[in-house]
Structure 1
């Protein structure tokens, strides 16, 4: 690690006032990083500096994307509008009907597709509801037939996907208040 000698500090001040970037100054000084230069500049309290020299070759401009503007606007019966008000579009929100998924109800008496299924035996068609303590030897997954698009059989889907109102109504806190 090189120390900041008086000569190096003076050179740093000169290069900084000339408008060089911290990376360029680090390259000129050698043996210091850009972050070391920035730190020293802040410790010295250097602020105002000349504008950085313009690069020799100008970069090609990126092509701008322009949206198609309508040639004529329909008359709305209102007076002409000026400024950014003319650019505002009217947004009409349409309420979508909420379709609540109701899985087919299967009784737990239905036989699982795989008895005592491990995680490696689960497929898209099997219920992934865990049964028992994961640390116990008899831990397994339900493995009954699941509906398309959901990971559980009908019975476990009803347990997992309770409507919000039912969850609030049957919460332990509410039961304790009764």
Structure 2
């Protein structure tokens, strides 16, 4: 077992100097002297031996992998196209109070929000809260992005 904080003797320093250039590892030298691997490395460094020619393993070189050509992926959003009917053909009712609103009635608030008067026209789709006219106002179709300006980032 290694002893901590023990001063180095001249004999130990001589052994480190002699064995450092051989094929012995710092751990083997430390085991022989009853010291840790790191204390032997530290002593060798302070003695100027740390950069001495130690047996090194040849670096493992792998052949370079061919680079894959990447193309930016264009995302296609599957948003159903909603074409609002012309406003001339829509009959918008005067309004229905929220309390009198049916389950499939349009919930678009008309006029003062404090009165809670809703459109009340039949909803355009099952599960929708608005008629086709107000649905066209609520849902805006996303515009296509021009990626040519970002081409330097997508190669």
Asked whether the two chains share a fold, i.e. TM above 0.5, the reply is no
Q: Which has the larger radius of gyration?
A: 2
Range of TM-score over shorter length: 0.3 to 0.5
Tell which has more relative contact order, 1 or 2 (C-alpha 8 A, sep 6+): 2
